[in-house]
Amino acid sequence: MVRIRLARAGTKKAPFYRIVVADQRAARGGRFLEAIGTFDPRHGDGIVSIKTDRLAHWQGLGAQVTDTVESVLKKQAKAAAAAAAAV
């Protein structure tokens, strides 16, 4: 099964993650099919950048989003809505 999950790319005590599409059997930081975004948790609620068109593409093909990535995306959407409402 293909999953959309986090792959650690940071250094010791400085985590940084890529949001990747990978086979569920691959190692956490190992082989992946496509990198579709990044997540930096060291800045407040975290800085997320994601290619939404590629996310929709992979979900359309049946890729499952992990719980962690889903919560990160929900937080990002909530922050974007709050920022838009404030303007």
pLDDT digits (tens, 9 = 90+) for 13-55: 999 999 999 998 988 778 899 999 999 999 877 889 999 999 9
Confidence of residue 69 (pLDDT cuts 50, 70, 90): very high
Prediction pTM value: 0.87
The CATH architecture one would assign to domain 2-86 is 2-Layer Sandwich (3.30)
- DSSP states of 12-80: TTB--EEEEEEETTS-TTS--SEEEEEEETTSTT-EEEE-HHHHHHHHHTTPEEPHHHHHHHHHHHHHH
